[in-house]
Amino acid sequence: MSSAPKSAAIIGGGVIGGGWAARFLLNGWNVRVFDPDPEASRKISTVLDNARRSLPALYDRLLPPEGRISYHEALSDALDGVDWIQESVPERLDIKHEIHANINTHAPEVAIIASSTSGFKPSELNTNGQRIIVAHPFNPVYLLPLVELVGDPDHCARASMVLNALGMYPLMVRKEIDAHIADRLLEAVWREGLWLIKDGICTTKELDDAICMGFGLRWAQMGLFETYRIAGGEAGMRHFLAQFGPALKWPWTKLMDVPEFTESLVDLISDQSDAQSGHLSIRQLEHLRDDNLVGMMRSLKKSQSGAGATLSTHEQTLKLPKSHDLPITVSRAIPQSWTDYNGHMNEAHFLEAASLATDQFMEMIGAGPDYVAAGYSYFTVENHIRYLTELHSGDRIFITTQVLQGKGRKLHLFHSIIGPNGDIAATVETLLVHMNLTTRKSALPSAEIEEKLKSIANAHAAYPMPDGAGRHVGQARTA
């Protein structure tokens, strides 16, 4: 029997609390929310809608079944029996002290207690013997993997294991410091940006363009120091420091000086921000942000860079569902990027989905990365796709794979793409040839691969020939 799902208490249901609720919920945890705001349920539901739309699109396997969410009027009820407690109340120390005292009274002894604070240190939070650590995430919490952990090493180590299982990247902060690591960097850029706008050097849009058209793209994959290592050329970081180190003494920045926060500065920045993106609603901006993040993170996953490496590691823990019939080789949600101007899944991505199924089948028979590294692989030489029903963004699909022939150099597969209602949405018939990667010519597979294929082909021979196998283009469908 499977163990009962774990549960998390979310204390404070704003943007960050809602993001935490979504991250836990969509990874199979039950979530218990405490927030006296009568609008808390509506606000969190909005965040959940965004998360359900975007988080599954990151993965080529389905996330666990969604947990249950409940809302509680009493803090003690919300904390009952939970494994993780995440406090995300406003950034005021008096409010945090009050809620932490109540949490400490009712929290299960084994529960991890974490604060989302972006600035306070654990020593400032734990004034009365509490056991709170800092687990500072980044918005949107359901997509961005980074969580800065600060506090008791043993508690942080336990928290790190949980966060890894949620597909997040826990970063241990070595020493307590105000605003931790990432927000200190953001604050430095923010201060300099305020000066540039106040002094009329640029507008909010022009400053944002400088980031997203340039170094922001570099930072997404490499960060600051690795980017500068490359800038140093073949001599690396040492040459870069020798070349640009003296610039630290030049008056390039007003880093330690803060512009006076006046109404005129607020009006200037607000008016420019309205001109920049006021034509889009906040919901439209959230969707745009999430779609762009999904696209970039999926690209980074292919190269195992930055957040993509964390995503790939988490995906490997998501098991394909068991089947009593033909093997399930793909189980995933349709990402928004797979749809086209007709509002449904584009024809090219049916083949991409089938290609993922073929890759998974290669893993099943032992012809995965190690086999390729040894100099052998299968090449696709022919495909035939039938489009039977529409699929849309967010639809959950799975693919079954039947071996029609698995003897000698040829491998003949038939993939059935099953839509959310259980009907076959498309079929992809694939013919592959075994290749020697050194000679780039066809060759017999290894004895181990041949034996596995023979066993699977014999088992699949018990199934009827699938409808559509052996068809040619334009052939009328059978009734």
Q: Has 15 been labeled as part of a binding site?
A: yes
Beta bridge partners of 214: none
Q: Establish whether 406 is an annotated binding residue.
A: no
The Cα–Cα gap between 433 and 256 comes to 64
Quick check: bond before 140 cis, omega within 30?
yes
Bond before 137 cis per omega within 30 degrees: no
Is residue 328 part of an annotated ligand binding site?
no
Q: Is 12 annotated as a binding residue?
A: yes
Residue 418: partners with Cβ closer than 8 Å, 6 or more residues away: 397, 398, 399, 400, 424, 425
HEC readout, 402-455: EEEEEECCEEEEEEEEECCCCCEEEEEEEEEEEEECCCCEECCCCHHHHHHHHH
Contact at 8 Å (CB) between 82 and 111? yes
- Rounded Cα distance, 476 and 390, in Å: 19
Amino acid at 286: E
Q: Where are the beta strands (DSSP E) in 311-409?
A: 328-333, 376-387, 396-407
Bridge-partner residues for 411, per DSSP? Answer: 406, 432
Work out whether the CA dihedral 351, 357, 360, 361 comes out positive or negative. Answer: negative
Dist. CA 170–CA 310, nearest whole Å: 10
**What is the C-alpha to C-alpha distance for residues 11 and 107, in angstroms, rounded to an integer?**
12
Which residue(s) pair with 397 in the sheet?
332
Structure tokens at 198: 């106040």
The H or E element containing residue 369 is: helix 369-373
Answer yes or no: is 17 a known binding residue: yes
Q: Which tokens belong to 228?
A: 């500068």
Helix (H, G, I), strand (E, B) or coil at 366: coil
Measured CA to CA, the distance from residue 315 to residue 293 in angstroms comes to 17
Q: 16: annotated binding-site residue?
A: yes
> Which pair of structure tokens corresponds to residue 397?
């699909």
Binding-site annotation: residue ranges: 12-17
Binding-site annotation: residue ranges for NAD(+): 12-17
